[in-house]
Homo-oligomer: A and B are copies of this chain.
Amino acid sequence: MISIHNEPQPTDLGDVRVANRAVVLRHVRRHAPCSRADIAARTGLNKATVSSLVGELIDQRLIRETGLTENRVGRPATMLMLDGAPYAALGLQIGADELVAVAIDLAGNRLLTWRRAFTAGTVSPAETLRALAALARRAIGRVGAQGRTVLGLTVGVPGLVDPTGAVPLATALGWRDVSLAAELRAALREPDFAVGVDTVANLAALAEQRHGGYADGADLVHLTGGTTIGAGVIADGRLLRGGRGFAGQIGHLCLDPSGPACDCGTRGCLSALVGLPAVVRRLLPDAEADGPVTDYLPELARIVTLARRDDPAVRAGLTEIGRHLGQGVAVLVDLLNPEVVLLGDHLGTLAPWLLPAARSTLAARAHAPGAGGCQLAASTLDTAAALGGATAALATVEAGRPPTR
């Protein structure tokens, strides 16, 4: 197989320092507690460079000395770890029936996870924006009260997000052309940290890559549940975005031209067959007796209870939904050849009953023998997109560019 480098970039000593700072930070994140000598030995950087970079990172309060020493031949080595205290990064997520806020420190430890019931699909974008800004302000206030500087905030949206952080289309929310990043920045009075927007699927994939059960996989997909199914794709270690940032749209893949109608105007899409409203409609025919469902959590809990009790109709329905899911995953697997596809949200909750049929359909449908080595599993992450949003907000610092304040 050929590795081709199409875009060599000129490098200078400043770039080298930034890159090496990122290498040291990453090593400490993954191997703490560790000493300066460990870093030099494991990264191949020379000891003087490591000492100088570590000194800078300590000054910037990105890493700290633990107070522990390790006894070796020669001088005892002072151990280092990421400094969890001075900074926080925030992630928000617009879910099918809730808003979520997550804050993490530099080491990825969760500082808060808040879920607020909110059905964005039934209200105006402006109302959702107000609720989102209120939640963000509370979270900023909370981490501020802990003496932390906010490094950045990223919001996950179930829809298309363009490079400016605007949302041209989000069928699950009924949105068209919402300038979310700009409006949220204004609502937060132009804060001095970056406010970004990305798809829930992309952010969940970043969270998987950093914190999930298959972390550091170079080729993974996170499938988001909720109203529309989305794919967050890590390909060769990087998020796959496409030319305008619209990659990962698997929700409207047609699986059954005679299937149920979809919000998008066609029939039998993956979302119309395995999305949360479709699943509730299919498995709980009485759920809409008193009008449209707006709060899906109790309905999902009912489905789980019925599945656990071996309710035959629910189990048969879940098997059928699992087959549709396997069909959709087979298309992803043929095109992207990931090492693992992780099921998030309600697909993760229902995974024990979806996976057997989904896996056998995947094996039968994928072109490469053994589905090209791809595993299909439930995500182990809670509120993955919000966690990914907070993770994404750390990117600049992790790339070796320290906070400027």
Contacts and interface: CB of A to CB of B under 8 A. Distances in A.
Interface string A117-137: 000000000000000000000
A2 B196 contact: yes
Contacts of A209: 6
Interface string A277-305: 00000000000000000000000000000
A112 interface: no
A264 B206 CA distance: 35
B395 A3 contact: yes
A335 B332 contact: yes
A239 B4 contact: yes
A248 B249 CA distance: 16
A171 B241 CA distance: 31
A218 B241 CA distance: 11
A59 interface: no
B369 A168 contact: yes
Interface string A205-227: 01001100000001100000000
Given A26-B8, A249-B368, A337-B242, A2 B373 contact: no
Contacts of A235: 235, 240, 242, 247
Given A242-B235, A332-B335, A22 B5 contact: yes
Contacts of A168: 368-369
B8 A399 contact: yes
A339 B7 CA distance: 18
Given A5-B22, A196-B1, A242 B372 contact: yes
A250 interface: yes
Contacts of A43: 10
- Identify the interface centre among A45, A243, A336, A398: most chain B CB within 10 Å of its CB: A243
Nearest to A196: B2
Given A1-B161, A374-B243, A19 B26 contact: no
Interface string A1-39: 111111111111000100110110010000000000000
A253 interface: yes
A338 B241 CA distance: 9
- Identical copies in the complex: 2
Q: Which of A240, A374, A395 neighbours the largest number of chain B CB atoms within 10 Å of its CB?
A: A240
Contact of A244 (B4, B26, B372, B393): B372
Interface in A229-284: 231, 233, 235-254, 264, 266
A221 to B, nearest CB: 10
B8 A11 contact: no
Interface string A182-205: 000000000000001110000000
A196 B198 CA distance: 38
Contacts of A6: 209-210, 237-238
**Interface residues of chain A: helix, strand, loop or mixed (majority):** loop
A202 B244 CA distance: 22
A367 interface: yes
B45 A10 contact: yes
A193 to B, nearest CB: 13
A178 interface: no
Contacts of A252: 334, 367
Contacts of A164: 1
28 contacts: A1-B162, A1-B163, A2-B198, A2-B206, A2-B392, A4-B238, A5-B22, A5-B398, A6-B237, A8-B22, A8-B26, A8-B400, A9-B19, A11-B11, A11-B16, A160-B368, A160-B372, A219-B243, A236-B238, A240-B240, A240-B336, A241-B337, A242-B336, A242-B337, A243-B374, A247-B336, A250-B334, A332-B335
Given A4-B398, A249-B335, 9 more contacts: A4-B206, A4-B392, A6-B238, A8-B399, A10-B44, A219-B242, A231-B335, A243-B338, A266-B365
